[in-house]
Amino acid sequence: MALALSGCNRRQSTFATFGEEAAAIDHLALVMTIGAVAVAIGVAALMIWAMRARPGALSLRGGERLILIAGGLLPVLLLLVLLGYSLPVMRPRAVAPADMRIDVTGEQFWWRVGYAPPGGNPVTTANEIRVPVGRTVLFRLRGADVIHSFWIPGLAGKMDMIPGRTNELVVRAVRPGLFRGQCTEFCGLSHALMAFDVVAMEPDAFERWLASQRQPAAATAPATAHVGAALFSRYGCGGCHTVRGTGQDGAIGPDLTHVGGRRTIAAGALPNGEEAIAHFIRYPARTKPGVRMPAFPHMSEADAHAIARYLGDLR
């Protein structure tokens, strides 16, 4: 019961759709369930009828006909109808020229996200995906290390992210809202903690957000004003992380240029905030076992909080 009720917030539900692809899957599931229930009721009714029938009530000839029609012909017809209904729904839709492209790479255990709007400079972020409502978006999906699987239940079906190849998914969101995506291929110890927020926005708001993401970090958190910025550099955080505009340009871990504006950190594992960031910096594996970020147990709590405050201001 508790597991079933956990789906009730509808942020990660196949039954609370905000995309055309997911709506088609939702409808298909409903039709298939109705068909399956019809078959189950028919079989149960026949079994009850057979168990209650007087011995010898069925002549051999009558019984053969019954088996042929009720046991063979009817199920075949019903299953053919369901198959006929499902094939067009499952067929990959013709890839319409997309309005924009989003490249997502699955890594242990986070998401590298790159926006490639037509005629604009690409923008790299992480662990949060925003899509404009009513626009066709082409997702290009890759795996960096092992196989991951990209799934936003409310938007579309799953698609594997396989190292060495690029899979594509064309989607269109039809209503704004806050949703959740999740890795759905076991990829290591923290597979279950590899999630992301999905924000479907009106196109105008999306364009403004994308423009703000394109800005370097210095616009919102001048490095000179933050003792945390100097500590970020001194502890070598920039060896793995990028904060655009500050000379910190590591490419191994998530881009942190606007990390303060995200709702969560560590790919959905913790709510964003100073306490959570400071804790995660010092002991990342306590939150995410198997994480590739090294621990910083030697870092003082004060330093960790200073860096966390700096990162929180990177909006």
Residue 106 or 154 having the CB closest to ligand CUA: 106
Give the interface segment with ligand CUA, choosing from 187-195, 229-237, 253-261, 306-314 (CB under 6 A).
187-195
Select 185 or 255, whichever has its Cβ closest to ligand CUA: 185
Helix, strand, coil abundance in the chain, percent, nearest 5: 40, 20, 35
Pick the binder of ligand CUA from 194, 195, 256, 278 (CB under 6 A).
194
Shortest distance (Å) from residue 69 CB to ligand CUA:
48
Q: Which of residues 183 and 210 has its CB atom nearest to ligand CUA in the complex?
A: 183
Q: Is 185 in the site for ligand CUA (CB under 6 A)?
A: yes
Residue whose C-alpha is closest to residue 303's, from 276, 282, 283: 282
Cβ within 8 Å of residue 96, ≥6 positions away: 136, 170
Size of the site for ligand CUA (CB under 6 A): 9
Question: Rule CB under 6 A: is residue 187 a binding residue for ligand CUA?
Answer: yes
Q: Which neighbouring-strand residues pair with 148?
A: 161
Of the candidate residues 106, 117, 268, 312, the single one contacting ligand CUA (CB under 6 A): 106
Sign of the dihedral defined by the CA atoms of residues 282, 286, 292, 294, in that order: positive
HEC letters along 235-257: CCHHHCCEECCCCEECCCCCCCC
Residue from 112, 130, 142, 148 in contact with ligand CUA (CB under 6 A): 148
Q: Does 12 bind ligand CUA (CB under 6 A)?
A: no
Instruction: Identify the three-state secondary structure at position 264.
Output: strand
AA letter at 118: P
Tell me which residues touch ligand CUA (CB under 6 A). Answer: 106, 109, 148, 183, 185-187, 191, 194
